[in-house]
Structure 1
Amino acid sequence: MSFKELVKNRRSIKKYETDSHVDDEAVKEAIELAAYAPNHGMREPWRVIWVKKDRIAEYAALFGEHSFKNDADKRQKHIDTVSKLGGILIIAGPIDRRQKQHLEDVLAVGGYMQTLSLALFDMGIGSCIKSPGSMFDPGLNEALNIKDNESIHGFVYLTDLPDDIEDKPRKNLNLLTEF
């Protein structure tokens, strides 16, 4: 697939109706390939925590415990849904208190995560980036070994690609203005 086709055809896969399995070697290759995403000053302000398929139910229970503390039904629904994933990649990185460097880090991590999504799609793996508010929960961060000087930037859900990926035309294609 050409780069142009890859960019135009990749979609976030948000339906997890069947039990998914992903190729671990392809995931590892995508993680490594995405590290070549452009980032300011070669800061590379990310690390990846990989929740593989065999640990996904355990992770789903942990996440549900911190995200749906007072709602057992929502917690169980979350566990049932997430347990169908082929894995999850948790993207974490340092928190730089300097404003300019922090912005550069956030932009670099976003570039990494988007490049990762493209690489996964190219390898036949569906993905969806998630950034729930509970990613800031101190208990969840502690359980995931997120250090005091770090933050979770997002989660990348891994799943099978459906046979029919819906075409979603872009609304904002008239981006260019001249100075």
Structure 2
Amino acid sequence: MSIQDLIINRRSIKKFEQDSHFEDAKIQQAIELAAYAPNHGMREPWRVIWVKKDRLPAYGRLFAEVNFKNDSAKGQAFIDMAAKLGGILIIAGPVDRRQKQRLEDLLAVGGYMQTLSLLLFDAGIGSCIKTPASLTEPKFNEALGIHDHEMIHGLVYLTELPEETAGKPRKNINLISEF
């Protein structure tokens, strides 16, 4: 598939009904190749915490405990859904106190995550980037080994691709203005 086709046809897959299983080698290759995404000053301000298939129930319980403390039904529904995923990639990285470097790091992480999504799609793996409020919860961060000088940028859920992933027309067609 050409890079243009990948960009046009990749979609965030938000249905997690099917039990997903993927070869670790495909996921690892996507993680490693995504590191070639452009980033400012070759800082590569990311690291990946890979929650593999066998660890998803434990992760689901942690997430449910942090996010659904007062709603056990929602918590159990999340645990059940998480167990169907093919894995979760947690993208974390340093927080630079310098404003310019922090902005550059955030842009670089966005480029990494988009490149990762394209590579996963090319490998036949569906993905969806999630940014729940619990990314900043101390208990969640501590359990995931997030250091004091780091933050979680997002979660990448890995799931089956639907049979159709045709591109959708974009709303923002007037991207260019002239100076």
TM-score by length of 1: 0.98
Summarize the alignment of residues 7-18 of structure 1 with structure 2, pairs less than 5 Å apart: 7-18=7-18
Q: Distance in 2 between matches of 1:29 and 1:82?
A: 23
List gaps (5 residues or longer) in structure 2: none
What SS does the aligned partner of 1:59 have?
helix
Match of 1:94 in 2: 94
Summarize the alignment of residues 43-122 of structure 1 with structure 2, pairs less than 5 Å apart: 43-122=43-122
Root-mean-square deviation over aligned CA pairs: 0.8
Does residue 136 of structure 2 align to residue 136 of structure 1? yes
User: CA offsets, 1:94-145, max 9 Å, x none?
Assistant: 0111111111111100000000000000011000000000110000000001
Aligned pairs, number: 179
Match of 1:147 in 2: 147
List gaps (5 residues or longer) in structure 1: none
CA shift at 1:8, angstroms? 0.3
User: CA offsets, 1:26-56, max 9 Å, x none?
Assistant: 1000000000000011110000000000111
CA shift at 1:164, angstroms? 1.9
Q: Distance in 1 between matches of 2:55 and 2:68?
A: 20
Match of 2:37 in 1: 37
Residue identity in the other structure for 2:2: S
TM-score by length of 2: 0.98
What SS does the aligned partner of 2:157 have?
strand
CA shift at 1:166, angstroms? 4.7
User: CA offsets, 1:47-77, max 9 Å, x none?
Assistant: 0000000111111111111111111111111
Which runs of 4 or more aligned residues in structure 1 lie more than 6 Å from their structure 2 counterparts after TM superposition?
A: none
User: CA offsets, 1:133-161, max 9 Å, x none?
Assistant: 01100000000010011000000000111
